[in-house]
Every structure is written in C-alpha cells, then in structure tokens.
Structure 1
Amino acid sequence: MTTIAFCAAAGTAAAQCTDDRLTVKGDFGQARFQVSVADTPQERSQGLMNVADMPLMQGMLFAYDNEQPVAFWMHNTLIPLDMLFADETGTITHIHDNAIPMDRTPIPGGDEVKFVLEINGGLAARLGIAEGDAFQHPIIGNLAVFSCG
C-alpha cells in the first residue's frame, strides 16, 4: 500500500512560491505537488499526452489568460487523471475524477475556468480534496484565496 504524505498544518500557509510547486488547501489540510505549467496554446494542447507514468505528487497546471469555458479530453493520454478546475482565485469549482485514458469524450470543466490541475487518477479523493478547496501558485498572483505565506 502506498502512503501519501501531505502537510495538514491548518494554521500555516507555509507553501513555497516557486513555479514548480503548487499547494492545495482545504478542510483536509494541505497537499503540495510538483508541477509543470502549461500556459501557452502549444503547451496546453500537448498536456500530459504520451506520458506513461507520473510520480504520485506531481501534476500539470494549465493556466489561461482569462476565465473561460474549458473542456478536456484524454486523446493520447496513457494514464488516468483527476482534473481540478478552478476560477481566477484558485478556488476549485469542479473535479472530474479518474478520466479514462485514450477516451475522446469531452470533459467540461465549467464556464469560468482559469486554471486546471491534472494529477494522478483517484488522488484527489484519496487526499480528501473537494470543490471549494483552493490552490496557490505564483501564476495565480494576488487574487489567490490564500497566499504563499
């Protein structure tokens, strides 16, 4: 059985503000992920396609210039993913869990999405991450629900 380590420090937002780290905070505590950022059309269209496996606490953060309707699909994606859709403040507005590898069915995230965090399938539920939780990353900036501390 794999043990998942995460920071459950309720009163501290001791997250480090670096481009390769993202912190999710909610009633469950905090979880930190090492992330790659996809903030250009080319990077977003490639995403995690053709990735054979991803370490447990890693993911990809998709960032858009403005809030907008967003839908993903799993074409050429080899691993199941959880997709955490968030607004401009980093507040998670929708979670799609365990997206099916290679499936071309559109996965809508909502009408006002600015950020999407993709992590290993089933991990959001295992950690207790829920809609209404929030994440912090330098790209969110001063609109974020919580600061990097």
Structure 2
Amino acid sequence: MISVRHRPFLAAILLAAAVSGCGSTPSAATQEPAAQAAGEPTVQKLRTIPLTIVTNDGKRHSYTVEVAHTSDEQAQGLMYRRTMPKDAGMIFPFPAPRPATFWMRNTYIPLDMVFLLADGRIESILADVPPLNEAQRSSLGPVAAVLELNAGEAARIGVTPGDLVEYDLRDLQGGAE
C-alpha cells in the first residue's frame, strides 16, 4: 500500500509516463530546432498553399503560406517559431466571417496581421505587431480569414485595405473546427 504522503509523487510519475507514451512526434524535417533546444513544444509545419497579394498598383506578390485550418492549428499558430522565410506566412481561415482577435503569446516573430473579407479584399492591417505580447488585436469587423506575414512585409510591398488577396482552400478537407 502507498502512503498518503507518497501518492502525489506516484501520481506525477504515472502521469509523466502516460504523457511520454502518447501522441506522435513529427519527423525531424518538420520540427523547429530552436524550439526543441529551448525545451519548448515541438512545432509541426502545416500544409501550405500558394497565395498572391495584388496591390492597388496592379503588382502581384507571391507567398507560400501554411494553413491553420483546424481549431487546434489556429490556437497554435506561429507560436514557438524563431524564424519564418521571407516569402512565407500563415493563413487562418474561418468557416464563416466573424470578428477576429489575435495575440502574440509565445510568438517570437514580429508580424503583420492582415484581416481578409470573404471576397478576398483586405479589411485592415495591423503592422509590426511586437512578439511575446498578450495584448489583444482585433479586426474592425467580421472577417473570413487572417493572414500573418513577417513584420514590415505589408509596408514593403505597399499593401493597403481594399487590396486583393488570392488563395484557394478547395484542396483542404473539411472546414475549421
């Protein structure tokens, strides 16, 4: 019989053993090495799609963006990432337009947040959002998706509200949970 004094200790050992045996570990190719080195959760890269921003001067700017499709993927977002390629980003599509609120908890990369309407037009842009900040940042109204790019990218290409963002999610199965 285990004494009452030792039960919490035993419970912690059993819980650690159970957790270490659950879930799958992404392949080394999909893990973020800096996060692993810092003892942070493993980051799995998501499916990617091509995305194009068409600015009001007619110029087209191409990106490859990860799709945070499920509610779990959207909750994780770009957390624990230390870098993101120049022409990359992440898109958070919603099953129906809604007001969107984001924060930068555990997000080490400064970002531009681009809020998208259902027709692909840009509703608003929050530029140079600082990392590791829990202040909530919101769209002006209901949006169909949020696009995150490296900080300064929106200014670099001259993107403004009303510009068009082209992307196709038809190859993804189901909607956001």
TM, length-normalised to structure 1:
0.79
Match of residue 13 from structure 2: none
Aligned residue runs from structure 1 range 18-57, under 5 A: 20-28=49-57, 29-57=59-87
CA RMSD of aligned residues (A): 1.5
Q: Deviations over 1:116-139 (max 9, x none)?
A: 110000110011111110111112
Determine the C-alpha separation between the residues in 1 that align with 2:147 and 2:90: 6
Secondary structure, aligned partner of 1:136: strand
Of structures 1 and 2, the one scoring higher in RCO (CA 8 A, sep 6+) is 1
Match of 2:145 among 79, 94, 115: 115
Q: Deviations over 1:2-45 (max 9, x none)?
A: xxxxxxxxxxxxxxxxx521001122411010111012110110
Secondary structure, aligned partner of 1:20: strand
Match of residue 6 from structure 1: none
| 1:77 Cα offset (Å) | 0.3
Q: Which has the higher strand share?
A: 1
Higher mean Cα deviation, 105-114 or 118-127?
A: 105-114
Determine the C-alpha separation between the residues in 2 that align with 1:112 and 1:26: 22
Secondary structure, aligned partner of 1:77: coil
Matched residue pairs, number?
123
Q: Which has the larger radius of gyration?
A: 2
Determine the C-alpha separation between the residues in 1 that align with 2:134 and 2:142: 22
Q: Deviations over 1:29-81 (max 9, x none)?
A: 11010111012110110000001000101000110000001110000000100
Determine the C-alpha separation between the residues in 2 that align with 1:114 and 1:39: 12
Match of residue 63 from structure 1: 93
Secondary structure, aligned partner of 2:144: strand
Match of residue 9 from structure 1: none
AA aligned opposite 1:99: V
| 1:110 Cα offset (Å) | 2.5
Give runs of ≥4 in structure 1 deviating > 3 Å.
none
Match of residue 129 from structure 2: 99
